[in-house]
Amino acid sequence: MGYRYLWTPLQLGPVEARNRIVFSAHLTNYAKDGKPTDQHTDYYAARAAGGAGLIITEEHSTHPTDWPYEKLIHGFHRDVIPGYKKITDAVHRHRVPIFAQINHNGGQASSMFSRLPVWAPSAIADPLFREVPKAVTHAEIEEIIAGYVLVAQHCAEGGFDGVELQCSHSSIVRGFLSPATNRRTDEYGGSLANRARILVDIVAAVRHAIGDGLALGVRLCGDEFIDGGTTIDEAVEVAKIVEATGNVDYINTSIGVATASLFMIEASMHIPPGYATFISSAIRKAVDLPVVGVGRFKDPLQAERALAEGHCDLVGIVRGQIADADFAAKARAGATDDIRLCLSCNQECVGRMGLNRWLGCIENPRTGRENEWRVNDHLAITAKPKKVMIAGAGPAGLQAAIAAARKGHQVTVYEKETVAGGQVRIAASVPNRAEFGDMIRNQLTECARLGVTIIYGSGVWPGLIDEQKPDHVIVATGAEPSRPWWVADPEHDESALRVCDVRAILDGSAPMGGPQSGDSVVIVDEIGFHHATSTAEVLADRGCVVEIVTPGMVVGQDLGITLDMENWWIRAGAKGIVQTTDLVPMGFANGELTLLHHPTGINQTRHPEWVVLAVPPNPVEWLYNDLKNTGVSVERVGDCVAPRRAHAAVVEGERAGSSV
């Protein structure tokens, strides 16, 4: 498929988007003291330089009662304007328009930071924040409208080309529009026209404030996926109301509610790409305004197809451009294979937000660190190329190879296995986690482009180093399964032969072929992520009877922040996987697993045919230890330093390779 639509400019009121790729609004946690920072500037400028057709910043709060998370931009203060000007000037240097999204989150918040009552259309507590809000009075509604106007004026003064009103998944306007959260009996409740009144009033007031020189957009939720909430049919009617105002230049779309159905908004890899285009498609058929479609677009061909099939006029691609700031430029140059495809793993983008950390990317070590690489001149081509040897072709080793080769060094990677990938390859062997393997495919593509040599079936040892005489060695030998203290010695207890690590199940190396159909299996989850849950699904699909036990309060506890928890529960229930919490393994001998229920101190027992371990591994550090005092220039990265998740491996690999 060619690109008939993707590179066509489109007029949005007074502003021309140079192509159909939109870097839509999303949280970054880059703000400090309520103001935008240089981190924002560098982040947005990188995406503008990378070819985006339009950039829409994260939300700017319109009122002091709206402070749902710490690192929010307080657009209602004038001291944001200098930061705005820095951002817009940096983006405009690349001839890309930039809009600001403005919002009041309403009842989808708490008073933790503001120490003020939360405002909402009705006194209905949000299921996540669980705080009963104050139902706003008519005077407070006027104050809300005035807040939108004030922030829009600040945005205009700060150099933005347009503003977008957030009325979708997390917004007081969404709260008014939704029958689930609007129980008012006055002119702002009841009929759809009444529930949309505040939106119409805000649109009119903001347009009057910014005039005709700036674009004005509205972002709507097409389906809330909650009981009694907005559905696609009603969303279409709201879109018609928006168009009828005559004041709006485009409509952006969204799906779900940012608390009750958050997993639908930033869907993980378990949900297919383009899953939300039914919303933009329905709205586009009903209005003549340009419509932005969203829904986990991974590559430009998917975006082109959505445009060609008439689902939307522009395509919102956020995570794709977080993973690769040059997404659009590479696609336009015909270098689609060079695009670093998003994994939709949600670990460093959505997941970091949930931990109050700033946004990053599991496979793009520069996301949020754009200034680090520029200031330190890591990317300069070296005048004195070195011979670099890397031990291990997992994510850390491959990223180190990429970074070193990018600087012009001669890089050779040695991998003891016959394929690259390390633990990532094993994780991606699970059917519903296959996209995780894109990380290694992306890295191998970049290695090939940069001329990195990879030698498979050969590890690194001191003799090889003596023979090859590299100028620098980077050890990325990863980690290996550990054997907990509570497991009996298999030399004295045959039942202990049926205890194995999750890796052995996934890579097929488990003793005696591993658990078979009808076997009972207990999986011990001490990591709290996909390790236990993915393995449980594989075994359940094989016909095993599976129980996961964990010392924690929930199995796979970190699945929550990556928005995988809801779908895991659905699949686990369908497959009959039992989940038992608060149990600490105390021993496995003679086929009996002893578990301490730590809240009560009472022991429980199980008699499974297999015990599978999802427990912290041990670093493989012998090579580094052998080399560190021999005079060889050596360093180590990734799990052989300390076993962690893939993002740490990638960041360390990038830093090591770029500092050679």
Both tokens of residue 435?
Answer: 């996209």
User: How far is it, in rounded angstroms, from Cα 78 to Cα 35?
Assistant: 10
Tell me if residue 120 falls in helix, strand or coil.
strand
Task: Extract the tokens encoding 323.
Answer: 């993973």
Select from 3.40.50.720, 3.30.230.10, 3.30.565.10, 3.40.50.10480 the CATH code of 380-480+619-658: 3.40.50.720
Residues 201-227 as b or e (16 or more Cβ within 10 Å = b): bbbebbbebbeeebbbbbbbbbbbbbe
Chain Cα centroid distance, residue 226 = 23
DSSP annotation of 198 reads: H
Q: Of all helices (H) and strands (E), which one includes residue 649?
A: helix 646-658
Backbone angles phi, psi at 193, to 5 degrees: -60, -40
276 contacts 255 by C-beta, under 8 angstroms: yes
Counting beta carbons within 10 angstroms of the beta carbon of residue 2, is it exposed (0 to 12), middle (13 to 18) or buried (19 or more)?
A: exposed
In angstroms, the CA 421 to CA 444 distance is 9
pTM over 0.85: yes
Give the C-alpha separation, 458 to 392, whole Å.
9
421: helix, strand or coil: coil
pLDDT given at position 377: 52
Domain spanning 494-616 has what CATH number? 3.50.50.60
Mean pLDDT per block of 10 residues along the chain (660 residues) reads: 90 98 98 98 97 98 95 97 99 99 94 93 92 96 98 99 97 96 97 98 99 98 93 98 99 90 88 94 98 95 97 98 97 94 95 90 94 64 94 98 96 97 95 93 96 97 94 98 95 94 96 96 98 98 98 96 94 98 97 97 98 98 94 96 96 94
51/186 Cα distance (integer angstroms): 48
Q: Cα–Cα distances in Å, from 398 out to 193, 386, 391, 393?
A: 57, 17, 10, 5
> Which of 490, 501, 498 is CA-nearest to residue 525?
501
Q: Work out the widest C-alpha separation in the chain, in whole angstroms.
A: 84
- Please spell the DSSP secondary structure of 239-271, one letter per residue: HHHHHHTS--SEEEEE-S-TTTTGGGTT--TTS
For the chain, what are the domain ranges? 10-373, 380-480+619-658, 494-616
Phi, psi of 586 (to 5 degrees): -120, -15
Please provide residue 588's backbone torsions phi and psi, each rounded to the nearest 5 degrees. Answer: -140, 115
Q: Which amino acid is at 358?
A: W
Q: Do domains 380-480+619-658 and 494-616 have the same CATH topology?
A: no
Q: Which CATH superfamily is domain 10-373 in?
A: Aldolase class I (3.20.20.70)
